[in-house]
């Protein structure tokens, strides 16, 4: 029986790629202009060249910092503190999903700057809704899932995320069922290894919710069957 949900934040619960890529780039240009003394126009021109490679935001930021020879972590934290979150909103799909999570304990494991992730939760009014683990390292969520397994068995957990090389792989390695949501910058990635292959693949959180509800019904049905006492067989008298 599923008792708890392990949930990813970016491009799972919230549409980060769609809603925050442009604001991040705008603030990145401003911060780099301030730190390098280059004009905004110069920085934007360099940004256009880098964007042609279709790098994700974190790699784009790293490439920029290496180009100018400045500290990546310092720039990332400055952008995280100052980026506008006015475009960040919970989708109708996410709101309906969260309203249905009453029976379950939710563990949110999110990768990235703790400053920015806390700002996102505060902005969306989600502070206090989950037990939150902030992963600021290399994106390996296994260590946090092991902590959760100290309270729940793998059969009592289900993991929902978009990243086959992070939360899906981590949960699979711990025998936790996985639901991959095809959203954001990683939606076109295909599993290359067995441990990258999710138990289920969906496009929306509502589809994920239906899977959870179906698994609960299957469990309850099996429990009901196993609890039934076998009916003693009646001997039919032999007529002579």
Domain extents for the chain?
4-14+89-227, 18-82
Question: CA–CA separation, 122 vs 81, rounded Å?
Answer: 13
H helix intervals, 39-194: 40-51, 57-68, 72-82, 92-99, 114-123, 142-148, 167-173
What band does 95 get if pLDDT is binned at 50, 70 and 90? very high
Q: Tokens in use for 87?
A: 């475009």
Average pLDDT over residues 167-177: 97
Positive or negative CA dihedral for 51, 56, 57, 59? negative
**pLDDT per residue over 224-237, tens digit each?**
777 766 665 556 55
Block residue for tokens 């990635």:
189
Contact 181, 94 (CB under 8 A): no
* pLDDT the model gives residue 58: 85
CA distances from 26 to 6, 35, 79, 153 (A): 32, 15, 9, 44
What band does 136 get if pLDDT is binned at 50, 70 and 90? confident
* pLDDT the model gives residue 35: 94
Is residue 190's pLDDT more than 70?
A: yes
* pLDDT the model gives residue 21: 93
- CA neighbours closer than 13 Å in the CB half-sphere of residue 36: 21
Residue scoring higher pLDDT (50 or 161): 161
CA distances from 170 to 5, 56, 191 (A): 14, 21, 14
Superfamily, domain 4-14+89-227: HAD superfamily/HAD-like (3.40.50.1000)
Cα Rg for the chain, rounded, in angstroms?
23
Taking the CB of residue 124, how many other CB atoms lie within 10 A of it?
17
| pTM, two decimal places | 0.89
* pLDDT the model gives residue 19: 96
* pLDDT the model gives residue 77: 95
* pLDDT the model gives residue 211: 97
* pLDDT the model gives residue 2: 94
**Rounded percentage of the chain residues whose pLDDT exceeds 90:** 77
* pLDDT the model gives residue 222: 79
Question: CA–CA separation, 181 vs 201, rounded Å?
Answer: 6
Least confident of 27-36, 173-182, 184-193: 184-193
- The beta strands (E) that lie in the chain are given as 4-7, 105-111, 131-135, 157-161, 177-181, 200-202
The per-residue pLDDT of the chain, averaged, comes to 91
**pLDDT per residue over 21-76, tens digit each?**
999 999 999 999 999 999 999 999 988 888 776 678 888 899 989 999 999 999 99
| Cα angle: 40, vertex 43, 48; to 5 degrees | 125
């Amino acid at each position: 029986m599923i008792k708890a949900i392990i949930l990813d934040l970016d491009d799972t619960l919230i549409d980060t790629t769609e809603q925050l890529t442009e604001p991040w780039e705008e603030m990145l240009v401003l911060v780099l202009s301030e730190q390098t003394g280059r004009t905004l126009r110069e920085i934007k021109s360099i940004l256009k060249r880098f964007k042609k490679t279709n790098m994700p935001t974190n790699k784009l930021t790293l490439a920029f910092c290496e180009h100018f020879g400045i500290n990546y972590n310092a720039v990332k934290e400055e952008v995280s503190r100052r980026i506008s979150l006015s475009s960040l909103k919970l989708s109708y799909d996410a709101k309906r999903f969260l309203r249905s999570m009453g029976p379950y304990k939710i563990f949110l494991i999110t990768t990235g700057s703790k400053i920015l992730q806390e700002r996102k939760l505060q902005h969306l009014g989600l502070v206090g809704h989950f037990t939150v683990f902030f992963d600021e390292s290399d994106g390996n969520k296994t260590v946090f899932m092991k902590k959760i397994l100290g309270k729940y068995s793998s059969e009592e957990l289900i993991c929902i995320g978009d990243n086959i090389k992070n939360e899906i792989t981590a949960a699979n390695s711990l025998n936790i069922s996985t639901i991959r949501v095809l959203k954001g910058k990683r939606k076109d990635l295909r599993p290359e290894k067995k441990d990258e292959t999710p138990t289920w693949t969906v496009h929306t959180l509502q589809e994920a919710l239906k899977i959870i509800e179906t698994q609960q019904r299957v469990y309850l049905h099996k429990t009901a069957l196993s609890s039934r006492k076998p009916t003693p067989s009646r001997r039919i008298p032999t007529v002579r």
